[in-house]
Amino acid sequence: MKRIIYATITILLLVTEVLIGMYASGWVRNYLGDVLVVMLLYTLCRSISPDRPAKWFVLPSVILVFAFAVEFLQLWGFCDRFGITYRLLRIIIGTGFSVEDLISYALGTVPCYAAEICGKSRNGTQKA
Protein backbone atom coordinates (compact mmCIF):
# COMPACT_ATOMS: atom_id res chain seq x y z
CA MET A 1 0.00 0.00 0.00
CA LYS A 2 2.86 2.40 0.79
CA ARG A 3 4.25 1.92 -2.70
CA ILE A 4 0.96 2.92 -4.30
CA ILE A 5 0.79 6.09 -2.19
CA TYR A 6 4.39 7.04 -2.98
CA ALA A 7 3.94 6.20 -6.67
CA THR A 8 0.81 8.36 -6.85
CA ILE A 9 2.59 11.29 -5.21
CA THR A 10 5.55 10.76 -7.57
CA ILE A 11 3.28 10.92 -10.62
CA LEU A 12 1.56 14.06 -9.31
CA LEU A 13 4.91 15.73 -8.66
CA LEU A 14 6.19 14.69 -12.09
CA VAL A 15 3.13 16.17 -13.81
CA THR A 16 3.56 19.34 -11.75
CA GLU A 17 7.25 19.55 -12.74
CA VAL A 18 6.42 19.11 -16.42
CA LEU A 19 3.74 21.80 -16.23
CA ILE A 20 6.16 24.13 -14.45
CA GLY A 21 8.77 23.45 -17.13
CA MET A 22 6.31 24.12 -19.93
CA TYR A 23 4.26 27.03 -18.66
CA ALA A 24 5.69 28.66 -15.56
CA SER A 25 8.14 31.50 -15.27
CA GLY A 26 9.68 33.63 -12.56
CA TRP A 27 10.05 32.28 -9.03
CA VAL A 28 7.79 29.29 -9.71
CA ARG A 29 10.08 27.95 -12.41
CA ASN A 30 13.32 29.12 -10.82
CA TYR A 31 12.75 28.04 -7.22
CA LEU A 32 9.58 26.03 -6.66
CA GLY A 33 10.57 23.59 -9.40
CA ASP A 34 13.87 22.91 -7.61
CA VAL A 35 12.12 22.42 -4.27
CA LEU A 36 9.67 19.97 -5.84
CA VAL A 37 12.29 17.99 -7.78
CA VAL A 38 13.96 16.93 -4.53
CA MET A 39 10.60 15.79 -3.19
CA LEU A 40 9.98 13.98 -6.49
CA LEU A 41 13.24 12.06 -6.14
CA TYR A 42 12.35 11.19 -2.54
CA THR A 43 8.89 9.83 -3.40
CA LEU A 44 10.33 7.97 -6.40
CA CYS A 45 12.87 6.24 -4.16
CA ARG A 46 10.16 5.45 -1.60
CA SER A 47 7.88 4.00 -4.28
CA ILE A 48 10.70 1.68 -5.36
CA SER A 49 11.77 0.79 -1.82
CA PRO A 50 9.22 1.84 0.80
CA ASP A 51 11.23 0.34 3.67
CA ARG A 52 13.11 2.91 5.69
CA PRO A 53 16.82 2.55 6.41
CA ALA A 54 17.89 2.16 10.04
CA LYS A 55 19.00 5.79 10.13
CA TRP A 56 16.09 8.12 9.35
CA PHE A 57 18.23 10.81 7.73
CA VAL A 58 19.98 8.64 5.12
CA LEU A 59 17.66 8.90 2.10
CA PRO A 60 16.98 12.66 2.25
CA SER A 61 20.70 13.30 2.80
CA VAL A 62 21.70 11.15 -0.19
CA ILE A 63 19.14 12.94 -2.38
CA LEU A 64 20.45 16.33 -1.21
CA VAL A 65 24.05 15.33 -1.97
CA PHE A 66 22.93 14.10 -5.41
CA ALA A 67 21.11 17.39 -6.12
CA PHE A 68 24.15 19.40 -5.01
CA ALA A 69 26.41 17.23 -7.19
CA VAL A 70 24.24 17.87 -10.25
CA GLU A 71 24.27 21.60 -9.49
CA PHE A 72 28.07 21.64 -9.18
CA LEU A 73 28.30 19.73 -12.47
CA GLN A 74 26.44 22.68 -13.96
CA LEU A 75 29.07 25.03 -12.53
CA TRP A 76 31.71 22.87 -14.20
CA GLY A 77 29.85 23.06 -17.53
CA PHE A 78 29.04 19.35 -17.77
CA CYS A 79 26.67 19.56 -20.75
CA ASP A 80 29.01 21.73 -22.79
CA ARG A 81 32.14 19.73 -21.92
CA PHE A 82 30.49 16.49 -22.98
CA GLY A 83 28.81 17.96 -26.05
CA ILE A 84 25.28 17.26 -24.86
CA THR A 85 23.00 19.02 -27.33
CA TYR A 86 19.73 17.13 -26.84
CA ARG A 87 17.41 19.83 -25.45
CA LEU A 88 15.47 17.64 -23.00
CA LEU A 89 18.65 16.22 -21.49
CA ARG A 90 20.11 19.71 -21.12
CA ILE A 91 16.92 20.78 -19.31
CA ILE A 92 17.02 17.76 -16.99
CA ILE A 93 20.73 18.16 -16.15
CA GLY A 94 20.68 21.94 -16.26
CA THR A 95 23.25 24.29 -17.69
CA GLY A 96 23.55 27.12 -15.17
CA PHE A 97 24.86 27.05 -11.62
CA SER A 98 23.01 29.03 -8.97
CA VAL A 99 23.47 29.28 -5.21
CA GLU A 100 19.71 29.85 -4.99
CA ASP A 101 19.21 26.38 -6.50
CA LEU A 102 21.28 24.88 -3.69
CA ILE A 103 19.06 26.66 -1.17
CA SER A 104 15.94 25.42 -2.98
CA TYR A 105 17.22 21.84 -2.89
CA ALA A 106 17.92 22.15 0.82
CA LEU A 107 14.41 23.50 1.41
CA GLY A 108 13.00 20.63 -0.63
CA THR A 109 14.59 18.10 1.70
CA VAL A 110 12.84 19.55 4.76
CA PRO A 111 9.52 17.76 4.01
CA CYS A 112 11.52 14.61 3.22
CA TYR A 113 13.25 14.70 6.60
CA ALA A 114 9.88 15.41 8.24
CA ALA A 115 8.35 12.39 6.48
CA GLU A 116 11.20 10.21 7.71
CA ILE A 117 10.83 11.44 11.29
CA CYS A 118 7.04 11.03 11.22
CA GLY A 119 7.39 7.57 9.68
CA LYS A 120 9.74 6.47 12.42
CA SER A 121 7.46 7.90 15.12
CA ARG A 122 4.36 6.32 13.59
CA ASN A 123 6.05 2.94 13.39
CA GLY A 124 7.09 3.22 17.02
CA THR A 125 10.74 2.66 16.19
CA GLN A 126 12.06 6.04 17.23
CA LYS A 127 13.93 6.04 20.50
CA ALA A 128 13.02 8.61 23.13
User: pLDDT tens-digit profile of 54-105?
Assistant: 788 999 999 999 999 999 999 999 999 999 999 888 888 888 899 999 999 9
Query: What pLDDT sits at residue 56?
Result: 83
In terms of Cα–Cα distance, which of 8, 12, 11, 6 is closest to 49?
6
Query: What pLDDT sits at residue 122?
Result: 67
Query: What pLDDT sits at residue 127?
Result: 43
Q: Identify the weakest region by mean pLDDT among 1-10, 28-37, 50-59.
A: 50-59
In this prediction, residues 44-56 reach a mean pLDDT of: 86
Which of the four pLDDT bands, split at 50, 70 and 90, describes residue 119? Answer: confident
Query: What pLDDT sits at residue 124?
Result: 56
Question: How much of the chain exceeds pLDDT 70, in percent?
Answer: 94
In the chain, count of helices (H) and strands (E)? 7, 0
